[in-house]
Amino acid sequence: MEYHHTETPEVDGLYRRHAPIGSETCWLHFTAASKVDLERLLDALSVHPLAKRRLLFGTDIPMADEYERSLFLSLFVIRPELRTAKIYLLATERYVISYMEEDDPLVENVKERLLYHREHALHPGYVLYYFLDITAIRFLQVIDDIADCIQALESQVFKTPFANEIGRNIYRWKIRIHELRQVAEAQEETVKTIQHATLPYINAETNPYMQDVAGRFSRVTAALDAFKESLSGIFDLQLSLKSDHMNVIMKTLTLVSVIFMPMTFIAGVYGMNFAVMPELKWKYGYGFALLLMATTAVLIALYFKKKGWWGENGTKEK
């Protein structure tokens, strides 16, 4: 298979100069800078009008469409920061034409694989496989990165359960994962569609490879579903930790109130100022009242401690 990367619109007669000879096939890659050449080539090849329109203007979702003697394939490539880029492929018996708005390392990765497996370069189906395979590998790499981020988020919940930023991060991650899952699921269905295609270059020889790619995208969608459940679990965990902490605060305030209740009662009794109250004229009455309050408070606190209601001594409630 010959590979040609057209970067400038100065190529004239591209179809004639790069036409396959004999049983050869030709892979041509175009970018926005060479879109004019792509249009001329499609006219020369007499490509189906719908296939031509799809290749030039793209689609909003990953998909595969079969036309007369050609197959259109739309792929979404994952990029850093979870951004996606689109690449469009048109495969015929003799040509594989790829188009991206701007270059991506994916194209060079496919080229390197074809150079390493030269026997596969004779078959357009393998070019499609390499595009799909590298796309799936990129998704799996992103899955590993997301797993690390979610694990870090879970650890942060235990360190700072009251941080509002955690809830916002969970919400943002849910949106990203939902978008990625839609793309991954669509690409999985795209691969399954290719497996059942009846075109000459999609045959029993390439089907096992396509099944392998479909399995990888299936792993991606399963992992993204698991991430959504994990994020929901982390959010529930944060709410639970907040609730537990608030319960501890309310418990502490309640115990302090209970300790001060008998002290308030004693102070209230000796503050009634009835005429016949012997302790009011007693020399040690003030000290006795304070000692009685302190003793009562200490006894109640010790009782709470013994029951396991005060502090975290590991004792069970009796």
- Please report, for residues 5, 58, 86, 108, 246, the alpha-carbon distance to residue 29 in angstroms, rounded to integers and kept in the order given: 5, 15, 14, 11, 61
* pLDDT tens per residue across span 211-259: 888 888 899 999 999 999 999 988 888 888 888 778 878 888 888 888 8
Residue 62 has pLDDT above 80, yes or no: yes
Residue 161 has pLDDT above 90, yes or no: no
Q: What pLDDT does residue 204 have? A: 67
Confidence of residue 173 (pLDDT cuts 50, 70, 90): very high
Confidence of residue 7 (pLDDT cuts 50, 70, 90): very low
**Structural domains present in the chain:** 2-240 (1.20.58.340), 245-307 (1.20.58.340)
Q: What pLDDT does residue 238 have? A: 83
CA dist., res. 75 & res. 127, Å (int):
13
Beta bridge partners of 100: 87
Q: What pLDDT does residue 148 have? A: 92
Q: What pLDDT does residue 11 have? A: 37
Q: How many residues does the chain have?
A: 318
Tokens 């596969």: give the residue: 120
Query: The sheet that has 70-79: what strands, in order across it?
Result: 2-6, 26-30, 95-100, 83-91, 70-79, 63-67
Beta bridge partners of 78: 84
% of the chain at pLDDT higher than 70: 85
Strand-strand pairing, 95-100 and 26-30: parallel
Residue 307 has pLDDT above 80, yes or no: no
Give the residue from 131, 91, 94 showing the smallest Cα distance to 111.
Answer: 131
% of the chain at pLDDT higher than 90: 14
* pLDDT tens per residue across span 193-206: 877 666 666 666 77
* pLDDT tens per residue across span 123-157: 777 888 889 999 999 999 999 999 999 999 988 88
Which pTM value belongs to this model? Answer: 0.72
CA dist., res. 207 & res. 213, Å (int):
10
Rounded mean pLDDT, 101-122: 79
Contact (CB, 8 A) for 109 and 125: no
Window from 158-162, 170-174, 273-277 with minimum mean pLDDT:
273-277
248, with CB counted inside 10 A (0-12, 13-18, 19+), is exposed
Q: How many helices (H) and strands (E) does the chain have?
A: 8, 6
CA dist., res. 301 & res. 259, Å (int):
7
Contact (CB, 8 A) for 90 and 96: yes
* pLDDT tens per residue across span 93-110: 778 889 988 888 888 888
